[in-house]
Amino acid sequence: MKKIIEALLLVSQGPLKVEDIQKVLDNETQENIKKYISELQNDYTKNDSAMQITEIAGGWQFSVRKEYGQYIKKLYKKETTIKLSNSAMETLAIIAYKQPITRGEIDKIRGVESGGVVRTLLEKNLVRIAGKKESIGNPALYGTTQQFLLYFGLKSTEDLPSLEDIDIENIEEVANELSEGTD
């Protein structure tokens, strides 16, 4: 069973949810699947492998250990990351911490118009329209996406540093902290 799960994770093109593995393994419980994944993680750690199985964006996937990331970057050069401007990182941090949030609320926090930056983040699939605010004009509410979690290597937005630990008024520092995690 462990080898089947390993094979599924290996061929998956993104995080694989336990529920998806369960559909393939008809009779296995989610608890057993999680146990097998944990055993696989231990096997890779015990063997000092360059590979690891990580929980990310609501699922599990193979990844390369951080200490080997610099070599992957050299191989693929700029293809491995999305380049974001400081204003995009600032806006993305605001959305991540204040979601769901309207563009007007983003503009107020940043002190400048953010329409173009929000469009760019939508195009890069880092944010999404999460609904409409029930107020005059029913403005769009923005939130982060699965791609956001993948980009920053997070299991969920709960893994972001807590607001108590950061000064939301100095959002540029938060944006810099987030971007450091993508190196």
> What kind and span of H or E run contains 59?
strand 59-64
121 falls in which pLDDT band (50, 70, 90)?
very high
From the list 92, 132, 136, 129, the residue with the least C-alpha distance to 114 is 92
What is the rounded CA–CA span in Å between residue 101 and residue 95?
A: 6
Q: Are residues 141 and 165 in the same domain?
A: yes
Final residue of a structural domain among 57, 75, 93: 75
- Average confidence (pLDDT) over 160-182: 58
What's residue 81's pLDDT? 58
Domain end residue (candidates: 75, 105, 130): 75
Q: What is the pLDDT of residue 64?
A: 87
d(CA 166, CA 174): 7
DSSP letter at 162? P
Q: Which of 27, 54, 75 is the last residue of a domain?
A: 75
Q: Model's pTM, two decimal places?
A: 0.58
pLDDT at site 82: 67
Q: How many CB atoms lie within 10 A of CB 45?
A: 12
Tell whether 87 and 28 lie within a shared domain: no
Q: What is the CATH number of the domain that holds 115?
A: 1.10.10.10
Query: pLDDT by residue (tens digit) across 8-43?
Result: 999 988 889 999 999 999 889 999 999 999 999 999
Same domain for 172 and 85: yes
Range of the domain at 18: 2-75
Q: Which residues contact 120 (CB under 8 A, 6 or more apart)?
A: 88
- Tokens 């050299």 label which residue? 74
Number of domains in the chain: 2
Q: What is the mean pLDDT of residues 160-168?
A: 65
